[in-house]
Chain A
Amino acid sequence: MGESTATQTLAARTLQEIDQERVLESDWGGGRSPFGVSWAKFMMWIFLASDALTFAGLLSGYGVARLHSGTWPRQGEIFNLWVVATMTFLLICSSATMAMAVGAARRGDRGAAVRFLALTILGGLSFLGMQAYEWTHFIREGARLTTNPWGVPLFSATFFVITGFHGGHVTSGVLYLLAVTVRALRGRYSAEGVEIAGLYWHFVDLVWVFIFTLLYLI
Protein backbone atom coordinates (compact mmCIF):
# COMPACT_ATOMS: atom_id res chain seq x y z
CA MET A 1 0.00 0.00 0.00
CA GLY A 2 2.81 2.32 0.92
CA GLU A 3 4.47 1.47 -2.33
CA SER A 4 1.53 2.45 -4.53
CA THR A 5 1.25 5.82 -2.78
CA ALA A 6 4.90 6.40 -3.50
CA THR A 7 4.33 5.63 -7.20
CA GLN A 8 1.39 8.02 -7.29
CA THR A 9 3.42 10.81 -5.72
CA LEU A 10 6.20 10.16 -8.22
CA ALA A 11 3.73 10.33 -11.13
CA ALA A 12 2.29 13.58 -9.84
CA ARG A 13 5.74 15.07 -9.45
CA THR A 14 6.75 14.06 -12.97
CA LEU A 15 3.59 15.67 -14.35
CA GLN A 16 4.39 18.88 -12.52
CA GLU A 17 7.90 18.87 -13.87
CA ILE A 18 6.65 18.77 -17.48
CA ASP A 19 6.31 22.36 -18.54
CA GLN A 20 3.06 22.37 -20.53
CA GLU A 21 3.85 25.70 -22.14
CA ARG A 22 7.14 24.47 -23.47
CA VAL A 23 5.57 21.32 -24.85
CA LEU A 24 3.03 23.37 -26.77
CA GLU A 25 5.75 25.62 -28.11
CA SER A 26 7.74 22.73 -29.53
CA ASP A 27 7.12 21.80 -33.16
CA TRP A 28 5.50 18.42 -32.47
CA GLY A 29 3.83 19.33 -29.15
CA GLY A 30 0.39 19.99 -30.65
CA GLY A 31 0.27 23.76 -30.43
CA ARG A 32 1.87 24.44 -33.78
CA SER A 33 1.95 23.37 -37.38
CA PRO A 34 4.88 20.96 -37.66
CA PHE A 35 5.20 21.35 -41.41
CA GLY A 36 4.81 25.10 -41.43
CA VAL A 37 2.28 25.12 -44.29
CA SER A 38 -1.50 25.39 -44.52
CA TRP A 39 -3.59 22.23 -44.58
CA ALA A 40 -4.44 22.63 -48.26
CA LYS A 41 -0.83 22.83 -49.36
CA PHE A 42 0.13 19.98 -47.07
CA MET A 43 -2.65 17.78 -48.50
CA MET A 44 -1.33 18.47 -52.01
CA TRP A 45 2.13 17.34 -50.88
CA ILE A 46 0.67 14.18 -49.35
CA PHE A 47 -1.22 13.50 -52.60
CA LEU A 48 1.96 14.06 -54.64
CA ALA A 49 3.91 11.70 -52.37
CA SER A 50 1.33 8.95 -52.95
CA ASP A 51 1.17 9.71 -56.68
CA ALA A 52 4.96 9.53 -56.83
CA LEU A 53 4.73 6.00 -55.40
CA THR A 54 2.31 5.03 -58.19
CA PHE A 55 4.85 6.14 -60.77
CA ALA A 56 7.60 4.44 -58.76
CA GLY A 57 5.64 1.19 -59.07
CA LEU A 58 5.16 1.62 -62.82
CA LEU A 59 8.78 2.55 -63.48
CA SER A 60 10.11 -0.27 -61.28
CA GLY A 61 7.89 -2.67 -63.20
CA TYR A 62 9.37 -1.31 -66.40
CA GLY A 63 12.90 -1.75 -65.03
CA VAL A 64 12.20 -5.34 -64.04
CA ALA A 65 10.59 -6.14 -67.40
CA ARG A 66 13.56 -4.68 -69.24
CA LEU A 67 16.21 -6.38 -67.09
CA HIS A 68 14.38 -9.69 -67.29
CA SER A 69 13.84 -9.72 -71.05
CA GLY A 70 17.58 -9.50 -71.74
CA THR A 71 17.10 -7.71 -75.06
CA TRP A 72 15.28 -4.47 -75.61
CA PRO A 73 14.54 -2.62 -78.87
CA ARG A 74 16.71 0.44 -79.55
CA GLN A 75 14.39 3.31 -78.73
CA GLY A 76 16.50 5.80 -80.69
CA GLU A 77 15.63 3.96 -83.93
CA ILE A 78 11.91 3.75 -83.15
CA PHE A 79 11.11 7.13 -81.62
CA ASN A 80 12.11 10.45 -83.04
CA LEU A 81 14.35 11.77 -80.26
CA TRP A 82 13.94 15.35 -81.46
CA VAL A 83 10.15 15.16 -81.03
CA VAL A 84 10.61 13.83 -77.49
CA ALA A 85 13.26 16.47 -76.71
CA THR A 86 10.84 19.16 -77.92
CA MET A 87 8.12 17.72 -75.65
CA THR A 88 10.57 17.92 -72.74
CA PHE A 89 11.43 21.49 -73.72
CA LEU A 90 7.72 22.44 -73.79
CA LEU A 91 7.09 20.93 -70.37
CA ILE A 92 10.10 22.70 -68.81
CA CYS A 93 8.95 26.02 -70.33
CA SER A 94 5.41 25.51 -69.03
CA SER A 95 6.83 24.77 -65.59
CA ALA A 96 8.76 28.05 -65.71
CA THR A 97 5.67 30.05 -66.72
CA MET A 98 3.73 28.28 -63.95
CA ALA A 99 6.33 29.39 -61.40
CA MET A 100 6.01 32.93 -62.75
CA ALA A 101 2.21 32.77 -62.46
CA VAL A 102 2.65 31.88 -58.78
CA GLY A 103 5.08 34.78 -58.37
CA ALA A 104 2.62 37.19 -60.03
CA ALA A 105 -0.29 35.93 -57.92
CA ARG A 106 1.76 36.46 -54.77
CA ARG A 107 2.48 40.04 -55.76
CA GLY A 108 -1.23 40.53 -56.37
CA ASP A 109 -0.76 41.12 -60.11
CA ARG A 110 -3.85 39.32 -61.38
CA GLY A 111 -3.38 40.22 -65.05
CA ALA A 112 0.14 38.81 -65.16
CA ALA A 113 -0.94 35.70 -63.24
CA VAL A 114 -3.72 35.00 -65.77
CA ARG A 115 -1.35 35.56 -68.73
CA PHE A 116 1.28 33.19 -67.31
CA LEU A 117 -1.40 30.61 -66.47
CA ALA A 118 -2.66 30.82 -70.07
CA LEU A 119 0.90 30.26 -71.35
CA THR A 120 1.25 27.25 -69.04
CA ILE A 121 -2.00 25.76 -70.38
CA LEU A 122 -0.78 26.37 -73.94
CA GLY A 123 2.46 24.52 -73.12
CA GLY A 124 0.51 21.60 -71.67
CA LEU A 125 -1.79 21.42 -74.70
CA SER A 126 1.17 21.49 -77.12
CA PHE A 127 2.79 18.68 -75.14
CA LEU A 128 -0.41 16.62 -75.39
CA GLY A 129 -0.64 17.34 -79.13
CA MET A 130 2.88 16.07 -79.70
CA GLN A 131 2.23 13.03 -77.55
CA ALA A 132 -0.87 12.26 -79.61
CA TYR A 133 1.28 12.55 -82.75
CA GLU A 134 3.90 10.24 -81.25
CA TRP A 135 1.33 7.63 -80.21
CA THR A 136 -0.33 7.74 -83.66
CA HIS A 137 3.04 7.21 -85.33
CA PHE A 138 3.90 4.36 -82.96
CA ILE A 139 0.54 2.64 -83.48
CA ARG A 140 0.75 3.02 -87.29
CA GLU A 141 4.09 1.19 -87.16
CA GLY A 142 2.26 -1.73 -85.61
CA ALA A 143 2.69 -1.21 -81.87
CA ARG A 144 -0.18 -2.49 -79.71
CA LEU A 145 -0.62 -2.89 -76.00
CA THR A 146 0.21 -6.60 -76.11
CA THR A 147 2.24 -6.96 -79.32
CA ASN A 148 4.68 -5.02 -81.47
CA PRO A 149 6.95 -5.67 -84.48
CA TRP A 150 10.17 -5.37 -82.45
CA GLY A 151 9.92 -8.71 -80.70
CA VAL A 152 9.58 -7.72 -77.05
CA PRO A 153 5.85 -7.40 -76.23
CA LEU A 154 6.53 -5.61 -72.94
CA PHE A 155 8.31 -2.84 -74.83
CA SER A 156 5.09 -1.35 -76.20
CA ALA A 157 3.05 -2.39 -73.12
CA THR A 158 5.24 -0.44 -70.68
CA PHE A 159 5.48 2.45 -73.14
CA PHE A 160 1.71 2.83 -73.53
CA VAL A 161 0.93 2.37 -69.84
CA ILE A 162 3.60 4.73 -68.49
CA THR A 163 3.35 7.54 -71.06
CA GLY A 164 -0.44 7.13 -71.04
CA PHE A 165 -0.58 7.48 -67.28
CA HIS A 166 1.65 10.53 -67.46
CA GLY A 167 -0.39 12.00 -70.32
CA GLY A 168 -3.50 11.51 -68.19
CA HIS A 169 -1.81 13.54 -65.49
CA VAL A 170 -1.02 16.31 -67.99
CA THR A 171 -4.64 16.28 -69.16
CA SER A 172 -6.01 16.61 -65.64
CA GLY A 173 -3.38 19.27 -64.99
CA VAL A 174 -4.61 21.30 -67.97
CA LEU A 175 -8.21 21.03 -66.70
CA TYR A 176 -7.10 21.98 -63.18
CA LEU A 177 -5.21 25.02 -64.49
CA LEU A 178 -8.18 26.01 -66.68
CA ALA A 179 -10.38 26.02 -63.57
CA VAL A 180 -7.81 28.11 -61.66
CA THR A 181 -7.53 30.56 -64.60
CA VAL A 182 -11.30 30.99 -64.89
CA ARG A 183 -11.50 31.64 -61.15
CA ALA A 184 -8.62 34.12 -61.38
CA LEU A 185 -10.42 35.95 -64.22
CA ARG A 186 -13.48 36.27 -61.99
CA GLY A 187 -11.27 37.51 -59.17
CA ARG A 188 -12.12 34.51 -57.03
CA TYR A 189 -8.67 33.11 -56.42
CA SER A 190 -5.90 33.17 -53.87
CA ALA A 191 -2.14 33.20 -54.32
CA GLU A 192 -1.99 29.97 -52.40
CA GLY A 193 -4.58 28.34 -54.64
CA VAL A 194 -2.40 29.14 -57.65
CA GLU A 195 0.67 27.87 -55.79
CA ILE A 196 -0.99 24.53 -54.96
CA ALA A 197 -2.03 24.07 -58.61
CA GLY A 198 1.59 24.90 -59.46
CA LEU A 199 2.86 22.14 -57.16
CA TYR A 200 0.80 19.62 -59.13
CA TRP A 201 2.01 20.97 -62.47
CA HIS A 202 5.69 20.91 -61.43
CA PHE A 203 5.23 17.36 -60.19
CA VAL A 204 3.99 16.30 -63.63
CA ASP A 205 7.13 17.90 -65.11
CA LEU A 206 9.28 16.15 -62.48
CA VAL A 207 7.84 12.74 -63.36
CA TRP A 208 8.49 13.43 -67.05
CA VAL A 209 12.19 13.93 -66.22
CA PHE A 210 12.31 10.29 -65.08
CA ILE A 211 10.18 9.01 -67.97
CA PHE A 212 12.25 10.89 -70.55
CA THR A 213 15.47 9.48 -69.08
CA LEU A 214 14.37 5.91 -68.39
CA LEU A 215 12.05 5.20 -71.35
CA TYR A 216 13.67 7.16 -74.17
CA LEU A 217 17.32 7.84 -73.38
CA ILE A 218 18.71 4.84 -71.49
Chain B
Amino acid sequence: MERSGHGGYKVYILTWFWLLVITALEVSITLVHMPKVLMASLLILLALMKVVLIAAYFMHLRFERLSLVYVAVTPLVFAVILFFALVPDALRIPGIR
Protein backbone atom coordinates (compact mmCIF):
# COMPACT_ATOMS: atom_id res chain seq x y z
CA MET B 1 0.00 0.00 0.00
CA GLU B 2 1.21 3.47 -0.82
CA ARG B 3 2.41 5.35 2.21
CA SER B 4 -0.45 7.45 3.59
CA GLY B 5 -2.22 7.26 0.21
CA HIS B 6 -0.59 10.44 -1.08
CA GLY B 7 0.79 9.06 -4.29
CA GLY B 8 -2.19 8.01 -6.37
CA TYR B 9 -5.44 9.63 -7.35
CA LYS B 10 -7.40 6.49 -6.45
CA VAL B 11 -8.26 7.59 -2.91
CA TYR B 12 -9.46 10.99 -4.16
CA ILE B 13 -11.61 9.48 -6.90
CA LEU B 14 -13.17 7.02 -4.44
CA THR B 15 -13.87 9.86 -1.96
CA TRP B 16 -15.36 11.96 -4.77
CA PHE B 17 -17.56 9.03 -5.84
CA TRP B 18 -18.94 8.38 -2.33
CA LEU B 19 -19.56 12.09 -1.74
CA LEU B 20 -21.71 12.15 -4.88
CA VAL B 21 -23.54 8.97 -3.86
CA ILE B 22 -24.36 10.45 -0.43
CA THR B 23 -25.48 13.74 -2.02
CA ALA B 24 -27.81 11.82 -4.35
CA LEU B 25 -29.17 9.97 -1.30
CA GLU B 26 -29.75 13.27 0.52
CA VAL B 27 -31.69 14.75 -2.39
CA SER B 28 -33.81 11.60 -2.81
CA ILE B 29 -34.64 11.56 0.92
CA THR B 30 -36.27 14.98 0.59
CA LEU B 31 -38.47 13.64 -2.23
CA VAL B 32 -39.83 10.79 -0.08
CA HIS B 33 -42.57 11.45 2.46
CA MET B 34 -41.55 10.60 6.01
CA PRO B 35 -41.79 12.05 9.53
CA LYS B 36 -39.92 15.37 9.84
CA VAL B 37 -37.75 14.22 12.75
CA LEU B 38 -36.69 11.02 10.98
CA MET B 39 -35.84 12.98 7.83
CA ALA B 40 -33.82 15.56 9.75
CA SER B 41 -31.85 12.89 11.63
CA LEU B 42 -31.13 10.95 8.45
CA LEU B 43 -29.98 14.12 6.65
CA ILE B 44 -27.71 15.17 9.52
CA LEU B 45 -26.23 11.67 9.69
CA LEU B 46 -25.49 11.73 5.95
CA ALA B 47 -24.03 15.24 6.21
CA LEU B 48 -21.70 14.09 9.00
CA MET B 49 -20.60 11.17 6.82
CA LYS B 50 -19.71 13.61 4.04
CA VAL B 51 -17.85 15.88 6.43
CA VAL B 52 -15.81 12.94 7.77
CA LEU B 53 -14.94 11.85 4.21
CA ILE B 54 -13.82 15.35 3.21
CA ALA B 55 -11.77 15.91 6.38
CA ALA B 56 -10.21 12.44 6.46
CA TYR B 57 -9.19 12.06 2.81
CA PHE B 58 -9.28 15.46 1.06
CA MET B 59 -7.78 17.26 4.06
CA HIS B 60 -5.54 14.27 4.91
CA LEU B 61 -6.60 14.29 8.56
CA ARG B 62 -6.52 10.51 8.56
CA PHE B 63 -2.77 10.67 8.00
CA GLU B 64 -2.05 13.40 10.54
CA ARG B 65 -1.34 13.10 14.23
CA LEU B 66 -4.18 12.64 16.67
CA SER B 67 -3.35 16.00 18.29
CA LEU B 68 -4.11 17.79 14.99
CA VAL B 69 -7.33 15.81 14.62
CA TYR B 70 -8.38 17.15 18.03
CA VAL B 71 -7.71 20.71 16.82
CA ALA B 72 -10.05 20.08 13.89
CA VAL B 73 -12.79 18.33 15.90
CA THR B 74 -12.93 20.83 18.79
CA PRO B 75 -14.95 23.50 16.90
CA LEU B 76 -17.57 20.89 15.99
CA VAL B 77 -17.97 19.97 19.67
CA PHE B 78 -18.32 23.65 20.59
CA ALA B 79 -20.86 24.12 17.78
CA VAL B 80 -23.03 21.32 19.17
CA ILE B 81 -22.77 22.75 22.71
CA LEU B 82 -23.64 26.25 21.40
CA PHE B 83 -26.71 24.99 19.55
CA PHE B 84 -28.09 22.90 22.41
CA ALA B 85 -27.42 25.66 24.91
CA LEU B 86 -29.71 27.93 22.85
CA VAL B 87 -32.51 25.42 22.20
CA PRO B 88 -34.39 25.87 25.53
CA ASP B 89 -34.52 29.63 24.93
CA ALA B 90 -35.70 29.17 21.35
CA LEU B 91 -38.50 26.80 22.36
CA ARG B 92 -39.88 29.04 25.10
CA ILE B 93 -43.25 30.49 23.97
CA PRO B 94 -42.83 29.65 20.29
CA GLY B 95 -43.89 32.31 17.84
CA ILE B 96 -43.88 35.09 20.42
CA ARG B 97 -41.01 37.52 20.74
List residues of A whose CB falls within 8 A of some B CB. 27, 34-37, 42, 45-46, 48-50, 52-53, 56-57, 59-60, 63-65, 67-71, 76, 81, 85, 88-89, 92-93, 95-96, 98-100, 103, 106-107, 195, 198-199, 202-203, 205-206, 209-210, 212-213, 217-218
A45: nearest residue on chain B (CB-CB)?
A: B71
How far apart sit A56 and B67, CA to CA, in the bound complex (Å)? 22
Tell me which of A70, A92, A98, A100 contacts B94 (CB under 8 A): A70
How far apart sit A45 and B83, CA to CA, in the bound complex (Å)? 23
Q: Verify B39–A218 contact, CB threshold 8 A.
A: yes
Given the interface pairs A35-B71, A46-B71, the reply to whether A213 lies near B83 with Cβ below 8 Å is: no
Q: List 22 A-B contacts (CB under 8 A).
A: A27-B67, A35-B68, A37-B65, A49-B72, A49-B74, A52-B79, A53-B78, A56-B76, A57-B82, A60-B82, A63-B86, A64-B86, A69-B94, A96-B16, A103-B7, A103-B9, A103-B12, A202-B54, A209-B50, A212-B47, A213-B26, A217-B30
Tell me which of B44, B51, B75 contacts A56 (CB under 8 A): B75
Residues of A within 8 A of B40 (CB): 218
Residues of B within 8 A of A198 (CB): 58-59
Interface size on B, residues (CB 8 A): 49
Residues of B within 8 A of A205 (CB): 54, 58
CB distance from A152 to the nearest CB of B (A): 10
Q: Verify B55–A81 contact, CB threshold 8 A.
A: no
A191: nearest residue on chain B (CB-CB)?
A: B6
B87 interfacial contact with A, CB 8 Å: yes
Tell me which of B9, B47, B59 contacts A199 (CB under 8 A): B59
Q: Verify B51–A96 contact, CB threshold 8 A.
A: no
CB distance from B81 to the nearest CB of A (A): 9
Residues of A within 8 A of B55 (CB): 202, 206
- Pick the most buried of A37, A202, A205, A206: most chain B CB atoms within 10 A of its CB: A206
Residues of B within 8 A of A95 (CB): 16, 19, 54, 58
B13 interfacial contact with A, CB 8 Å: yes
CB distance from B71 to the nearest CB of A (A): 5
**In residues 65-97 of chain B, which contact A (Cβ within 8 Å)?**
65, 67-68, 71-72, 74-76, 78-79, 82-83, 86-87, 89-91, 94-95
